[in-house]
Chain A
Amino acid sequence: MRLTLHIWRQKAPTARGGKGDFEKYEVNDVSEHMSFLEMLDVLNERLETEGKDPIAFEHDCREGICGSCGFVINGSAHGPVPRTTVCQLHMRSFKDGDELVLEPWRARAFPILRDLIVDRSSFDRIIQAGGYVSTNTGSAPEANSVPVTKDSADRAMDAAACIGCGACVAMCPNASASLFTAAKVAHLNLLPQGQPERLIRTEKMVLQMDAEGFGHCTNHGDCSAVCPKGISVINIAQMNREYIEATLFSSPREGDTGDGA
C-alpha cells in the first residue's frame, strides 16, 4: 500500500527554544505485515541514503512492554487500535492511500527533545516521591509469611501493568498524569506490604505530580481509553479518596519514612 505521512520534525529541544513543523513524506510498498515502526524504519533508511536526517522516535523492546515508544497518529495516542502500543501496531490496520499525521506527546511536563521524542523524566520523579516500599535489601521476611488474597494480588497486578509510556498524559485535555500516578499508588496500596506508607505515599506522589506541571483530573476518562494496558480510571477515584484521607491525617515530611541511608 501507499501512504502519505505528515510528521512533526523538530531539531532542537523545546527547552532550548527549538521549534518544529510538519513535513510530508510519501511511502510506497508498505506491506500489511509490517509493524508501524518497521514502516518508519524503511522510510528512515531511505532518508539516510539520501543524506537526510532520519525521523527520531523512541523505541526499544518493540513488544509493548518497555514503554519507550509512543506518538500520536491522527489524533490518537499509539494509533487507532485499542490496547496496542505503536510498536505493536501493524500496517494491516491501515489502507492504501491513507494520510496520517504523526506528532509527539504534547504536554508542558513532557518537553520535546527531537521530532517525536519527548522528555518523560517527570514520571521518574513522581516515583521518587513515594512509589516504593521502604525495604532495604536483606531485610525481607520469608515470602509466604504474609499471605495476600488472590483478589488483592490480581488487582495490584492490573495496576502494576502500567508501562509508563505517557499516552494517558498525551490524550488528557488537561495533560494530567493522574492515571499514571494512581496506577502506582493502587499497585502498592492494595498490598499488605504497602500499608505502612499508604497515606504518605499517596500524598507525596500527588504533590509531586502537581509540582511537575501536570494538570488536574476532571474525569474525562480519555486516559484509560487510550491506555495500551487498559489501566482503569477507578484507580484515580481511589487515589483521590486516599489523598483526602492523607491530607486529613498526615503531613508530608522531608525525606521518606524509611531509615536514612
Chain B
Amino acid sequence: MSLPPNKIPTGPIDKAWTDRKFSMKLVNPANRRKYTVIVVGSGLAGASAAASLGELGYNVHCFCFQDSPRRAHSIAAQGGINAAKNYQNDGDSVYRLFYDTVKGGDFRAREANVYRLAEVSVNIIDQAVAQGVPFAREYGGLLANRSFGGAQVSRTFYARGQTGQQLLLGAYSALERQIAKGTVKMHPRTEMLDLVVVDGRARGIVVRDLTTGAISSYVADAVCLGTGGYGNAFYLSTNAKGCNVTAAWRASKRGAYFANPCFTQIHPTCIPVAGSYQSKLTLMSESLRNDGRVWVPKDPANCGKHPSEIAEADRDYYLERKYPSFGNLSPRDIASRAAKEACDDGRGVGPMVEGVRRGVYLDFADAIQRIGKAAVAEKYGNLFEMYQRITGEDPYEVPMRMYPAVHYTMGGLWVDYQLQSTIPGLFVIGEANFSDHGANRLGASALMQGLADGYFVLPFTLADYLAGVKPDGMATTHSAFRAVEGEVVAKNDKLLSIRGKRTVDSFHRELGLLMWDKCGMARTEEGLDEALQRIPALREEFWQNVTVSGSGAELNQSLEKAGRVADFLEFGEVMCLDARTRAESCGGHFRTEFQDEGEAKRNDAEYSHVSAWQYTGVGNAPVLHKEALEFNYVHPVTRSYK
C-alpha cells in the first residue's frame, strides 16, 4: 500500500487549523459514551488525551506499564516548555515559534503541523496554570520565562528544574479526576504487547498484566498510542529504563509505517559514562548553557591537568569561537557534534574510559563572578546538587564535565495531519509519532508537542474519525483477538524456553554500543553496512542463547525486558537502514560523507521528504515510501547559527 494522503489543509497556513476544526465531523454528546477509546500511555501525551476524552464523555481505557500513570517518563523533563505568549515583549509570535521550529528541524518537518503546534502552544500554558501547575513567577506575580537553545527570544516556561514533573502532575490530576468519575478506566502495570486489526481498522490491543502475567484483550472503536520514544535502542540514554519501542514496533508489524527512524537527538550536556556497569545517562538541563561556558584545553597535552591549572589563554571556548551569534546556546545537534569533534581531536577531559577522555567542561566560574554564587544557586541549585551526587564533584568549585548522550527520537510512527497512522483508527501522539520536529528537536518543544496533541488536537481529529464509524459491539471473543493473543503467548513462551547463557541486558548493551558507534552522532555508509550485517547475527544469537528466568504467570521483570530488547533487535536494523538510505546530513542525522567543514550538508533536491518504512517480515527489507515536503513559508536555507 502506498502512503495515504497526509490530509494537510490547503489555503493560508494561519487559518488552516481553524478551518479544519470547523470542517471536521463531531460526535453528539449523547453518543460519545457509546464509543470506547483505548489510550496507551500516560505521559504528557497519553494523560492529556485520556483526560480530555474522558471529559468529553467517551468511554476511555488508559494503559501504562508503571505502577502509576504519574510515573511516565515525561516526569523527568527538566528545562521547560515553549509557548508563543510574547510575555517578554521581545519579538516573539506564533509565526516566530513556527519559523524557529521548522528551521531548528533542519527543514525536515511539515510546515502545517508545526504551525498548528505553535498556534496551540499558548492554550497549553493557560490550561496548565488553571490546573495549578506552579510555574516560576516574577515578583509581580506574573509568569517568568527563560531562553533555550536555538532561539533568540525568551519563551520557555518552567517550574524550577522540574517542568515535566509539574506538567505531568497537572495532566495526571485531570486524569485521576476522570478516573474518579468513571469516564476513564486506568490500567497501570499493564503492557500492550500487540495491536489487533480487524477488517483494516485498529480495533484493540492485547496486553499483559505485569503483576499476574495474565494475557488479555481490550476492544475499542479507536486506539491511540502515546507510548513515548525509542532512545533506549542505544541502551545508554537519558531516557527512563522502561522506555521502549514495543508498542510502536508491534503496531508497525501490523501495518503502521514507521517514519524517519534514524532521526535521533543527541543531547550535548549529559554526565559522561563512568564505567561498563553504567545503566543510564543523566541529562543536565540545557538551561545550564544560559550561564555555563563550554571549553576544552587548546593543547591535548593539558587534558590530564586539573582545570584550575589551565590558563585562560590555553582554553578553547569552541562554541563561542565557532558560532559567535548563538555561542553556548547553539542548537543541540551542533553543540553535540562540536563536543565529539573536540574529544576525537584528543582534547577531551576527565578520566580515561577505554583509552579516551570523553568529556568537555561546562564552567560556571564567570557566572559566579558576574551574578554571585547565590544567584547561580537560585537558578541551578538542584541541578548542581544532582551533579555532585552522581560524580562526587562540586560544580561551584570545579567545572562540570559533560558529554553528549542519546536523548530524544524525532522519528516515530507516520501520522497524517489528523494524527492518524497508516492503519485507520490507530492514532499516535507525543514522542511516539514523527510529525513535528523534523531532523532535530529544539529544547522545550517536546513537552509542548505532547500536550498539544493530547489536549488540543486529538480530541477534534478523533471525533472526526469516530463520527464515521458505528459502535458494533465487537467482543474479545472475536477470532482476530484470539489469534493475536495466541501469538503473544507463543512469543513469551519461546523467550522463557530458551534458557541460554547470556542475559537480556548483555544483548541490550551489545546492541546499544553498536548503534552508538555506527548510528550515533556520526554515521558513515561503511559503518552502517557493518551494523546491518551484525544486528541480524546478534538477533539470531539472542533467540538461541538468551536466558530469561521465572515463568510467564508472575511478576517477571526479565521477561518484560526480554520482549522489549527483542523488539529493539528488529527495529535497530530499520534505524540503520534509514540512516544508510538518507545520503545527506540534516539535523541530528550526520553522515560524515556529507559535510562542509564539519557542518551538516543537506541535499534538498533528493531528500526533502519523509521516509516511511513498511514492515515486510523479520529480516526482510522493509519497503520505503516517500512523502514529499513542501515549504511555502519558511524557505529552506543552510541552517546557520554563526
In the complex, the answer to whether A256 meets B132 with C-beta atoms within 8 Å is no
> Chain A's nearest CB lies how many Å from the CB of B238?
8
Known contacts A49-B503, A88-B390, A90-B390; A33 and B55 CB within 8 A of each other: no
Q: Does A61 lie at the interface of the complex (its beta carbon under 8 Å from any beta carbon of B)?
A: yes
Q: Does B492 lie at the interface of the complex (its beta carbon under 8 Å from any beta carbon of A)?
A: no
Mask, A109-150, CB within 8 Å of B = 1, is 000011001011101100111011111111111111011111
In the complex, the answer to whether B68 meets A121 with C-beta atoms within 8 Å is yes
**Could you tell me the distance between the alpha carbons of A133 and B135 in the complex, rounded to whole angstroms?**
16
Complex interface: chain A residues within 8 A of B87 (CB):
144
**Could you tell me the distance between the alpha carbons of A127 and B178 in the complex, rounded to whole angstroms?**
11
Q: Does A247 lie at the interface of the complex (its beta carbon under 8 Å from any beta carbon of B)?
A: no
Question: Which segment, of A170-178, A187-195, A213-221, faces chain B?
Answer: A187-195
**Could you tell me the distance between the alpha carbons of A37 and B277 in the complex, rounded to whole angstroms?**
10
Q: Does A17 lie at the interface of the complex (its beta carbon under 8 Å from any beta carbon of B)?
A: no
> Chain B's nearest CB lies how many Å from the CB of A18?
10
From the candidates B55, B211, B277, name the one contacting A136 in the complex (CB within 8 A): B55
From the candidates A13, A41, A47, A132, name the one contacting B131 in the complex (CB within 8 A): A132
Most buried by B among A33, A123, A256: A33
Q: Does A63 lie at the interface of the complex (its beta carbon under 8 Å from any beta carbon of B)?
A: yes
From the candidates A68, A84, A129, A140, name the one contacting B67 in the complex (CB within 8 A): A68
In the complex, the answer to whether A60 meets B68 with C-beta atoms within 8 Å is no
Q: Does B397 lie at the interface of the complex (its beta carbon under 8 Å from any beta carbon of A)?
A: no
In the complex, the answer to whether A140 meets B130 with C-beta atoms within 8 Å is yes
Chain A minimum-CB-distance residue to B278: A38
Complex interface: chain A residues within 8 A of B178 (CB):
261
B611-637 contacts to A, CB under 8 A, are: none
In the complex, the answer to whether B211 meets A113 with C-beta atoms within 8 Å is yes
Complex interface: chain A residues within 8 A of B125 (CB):
143
Complex interface: chain B residues within 8 A of A233 (CB):
none
Q: Does B355 lie at the interface of the complex (its beta carbon under 8 Å from any beta carbon of A)?
A: no
Known contacts A34-B275, A113-B211, A128-B177; A135 and B141 CB within 8 A of each other: no
Complex interface: chain A residues within 8 A of B162 (CB):
65, 161
In the complex, the answer to whether A150 meets B55 with C-beta atoms within 8 Å is no
Most buried by A among B132, B172, B275, B547: B132
Chain A minimum-CB-distance residue to B459: A137
In the complex, the answer to whether B67 meets A33 with C-beta atoms within 8 Å is no
Complex interface: chain B residues within 8 A of A123 (CB):
68
Complex interface: chain A residues within 8 A of B159 (CB):
157, 160
From the candidates B123, B131, B142, B557, name the one contacting A144 in the complex (CB within 8 A): B142
In the complex, the answer to whether A188 meets B132 with C-beta atoms within 8 Å is yes
In the complex, the answer to whether B173 meets A62 with C-beta atoms within 8 Å is no
Complex interface: chain A residues within 8 A of B134 (CB):
153-154, 156-157, 160, 187, 191
Question: Which segment, of A51-59, A94-102, A235-243, faces chain B?
Answer: A51-59
In the complex, the answer to whether A258 meets B177 with C-beta atoms within 8 Å is yes
From the candidates B165, B188, B389, name the one contacting A84 in the complex (CB within 8 A): B389
In the complex, the answer to whether B141 meets A147 with C-beta atoms within 8 Å is yes
Chain A minimum-CB-distance residue to B133: A160
Complex interface: chain B residues within 8 A of A142 (CB):
126
Chain A minimum-CB-distance residue to B169: A160
**Could you tell me the distance between the alpha carbons of A139 and B52 in the complex, rounded to whole angstroms?**
11
In the complex, the answer to whether B55 meets A45 with C-beta atoms within 8 Å is no
> Chain B's nearest CB lies how many Å from the CB of A113?
6
Q: Does A207 lie at the interface of the complex (its beta carbon under 8 Å from any beta carbon of B)?
A: no
Question: Which segment, of B70-78, B402-410, B428-436, faces chain A?
Answer: B70-78
> Chain A's nearest CB lies how many Å from the CB of B178?
7
In the complex, the answer to whether B181 meets A119 with C-beta atoms within 8 Å is no
Mask, A10-43, CB within 8 Å of B = 1, is 0111000000000000000001011101100110
In the complex, the answer to whether B54 meets A261 with C-beta atoms within 8 Å is yes
**Could you tell me the distance between the alpha carbons of A154 and B275 in the complex, rounded to whole angstroms?**
38
Total A-B residue pairs with C-beta atoms closer than 8 Å?
233
Mask, B377-408, CB within 8 Å of A = 1, is 00000000110011010000000000000000
In the complex, the answer to whether B143 meets A143 with C-beta atoms within 8 Å is yes
In the complex, the answer to whether B277 meets A34 with C-beta atoms within 8 Å is yes
In the complex, the answer to whether B126 meets A255 with C-beta atoms within 8 Å is no
A169-209 contacts to B, CB under 8 A, are: 187-188, 191, 193-194
Binding site secondary structure of chain A = loop
**Could you tell me the distance between the alpha carbons of A164 and B69 in the complex, rounded to whole angstroms?**
12
In the complex, the answer to whether A62 meets B240 with C-beta atoms within 8 Å is yes
In the complex, the answer to whether A114 meets B141 with C-beta atoms within 8 Å is no
Q: Does B140 lie at the interface of the complex (its beta carbon under 8 Å from any beta carbon of A)?
A: yes
Q: Does A1 lie at the interface of the complex (its beta carbon under 8 Å from any beta carbon of B)?
A: no
In the complex, the answer to whether B141 meets A148 with C-beta atoms within 8 Å is yes
The interface size of chain A toward B, counting residues with CB under 8 Å, comes to 85
Complex interface: chain A residues within 8 A of B504 (CB):
48
In the complex, the answer to whether A261 meets B555 with C-beta atoms within 8 Å is no
Q: Does A66 lie at the interface of the complex (its beta carbon under 8 Å from any beta carbon of B)?
A: yes
Complex interface: chain B residues within 8 A of A41 (CB):
277, 279, 505
Mask, A57-78, CB within 8 Å of B = 1, is 0111111111110000000000
**Could you tell me the distance between the alpha carbons of A92 and B386 in the complex, rounded to whole angstroms?**
15
> Chain A's nearest CB lies how many Å from the CB of B389?
5
**Could you tell me the distance between the alpha carbons of A255 and B177 in the complex, rounded to whole angstroms?**
10
Known contacts A38-B278, A54-B557, A65-B75; A153 and B240 CB within 8 A of each other: no
Complex interface: chain B residues within 8 A of A117 (CB):
555
From the candidates B176, B283, B456, name the one contacting A132 in the complex (CB within 8 A): B176
Known contacts A49-B503, A58-B67; A157 and B126 CB within 8 A of each other: no
Q: Does B36 lie at the interface of the complex (its beta carbon under 8 Å from any beta carbon of A)?
A: no
**Could you tell me the distance between the alpha carbons of A195 and B75 in the complex, rounded to whole angstroms?**
26
From the candidates B129, B179, B279, name the one contacting A146 in the complex (CB within 8 A): B129
In the complex, the answer to whether B67 meets A132 with C-beta atoms within 8 Å is no
Chain A minimum-CB-distance residue to B546: A48
From the candidates A13, A53, A90, A191, name the one contacting B389 in the complex (CB within 8 A): A90
In the complex, the answer to whether B139 meets A150 with C-beta atoms within 8 Å is yes
Q: Does B242 lie at the interface of the complex (its beta carbon under 8 Å from any beta carbon of A)?
A: yes
**Could you tell me the distance between the alpha carbons of A70 and B241 in the complex, rounded to whole angstroms?**
15
Chain B minimum-CB-distance residue to A147: B141
**Could you tell me the distance between the alpha carbons of A261 and B181 in the complex, rounded to whole angstroms?**
7
> Chain B's nearest CB lies how many Å from the CB of A170?
15
In the complex, the answer to whether A120 meets B68 with C-beta atoms within 8 Å is yes
In the complex, the answer to whether A48 meets B143 with C-beta atoms within 8 Å is no
Q: Does B101 lie at the interface of the complex (its beta carbon under 8 Å from any beta carbon of A)?
A: no
Q: Does B183 lie at the interface of the complex (its beta carbon under 8 Å from any beta carbon of A)?
A: yes
Complex interface: chain B residues within 8 A of A157 (CB):
134, 159-160, 166
From the candidates B54, B68, B73, B502, name the one contacting A164 in the complex (CB within 8 A): B68
From the candidates B54, B139, B179, B392, name the one contacting A90 in the complex (CB within 8 A): B392
From the candidates B66, B131, B501, B506, name the one contacting A135 in the complex (CB within 8 A): B131
Complex interface: chain A residues within 8 A of B142 (CB):
144, 147
In the complex, the answer to whether B241 meets A62 with C-beta atoms within 8 Å is yes
Having A66-B76, A117-B555, A157-B134, one finds 16 other A-B pairs with CB under 8 Å, namely A33-B275, A49-B547, A54-B549, A60-B241, A61-B75, A61-B240, A124-B176, A127-B176, A132-B177, A137-B51, A143-B128, A156-B132, A164-B70, A191-B132, A193-B130, A261-B183
Closest A-B pairs by Cβ, 8 of them: A147-B141, A140-B130, A132-B173, A140-B126, A128-B180, A157-B134, A137-B52, A156-B134
B→A interface (CB under 8 Å): 48, 51-52, 54-55, 57, 66-71, 73, 75-76, 85, 87, 123, 125-132, 134-143, 159-160, 162, 165-166, 169, 172-174, 176-181, 183, 186, 188, 211, 240-242, 274-275, 277-280, 282-283, 385-386, 389-390, 392, 455-456, 459, 499, 501-506, 547, 549-550, 554-555, 557-558
What are 29 A-B residue pairs whose CB atoms fall within 8 Å in the complex? A41-B277, A48-B558, A49-B501, A59-B241, A61-B241, A62-B280, A62-B282, A63-B386, A65-B162, A88-B386, A114-B555, A121-B68, A133-B130, A135-B174, A137-B51, A137-B52, A137-B127, A137-B455, A138-B455, A139-B130, A142-B126, A143-B85, A147-B140, A149-B141, A156-B134, A157-B160, A160-B166, A193-B131, A256-B177
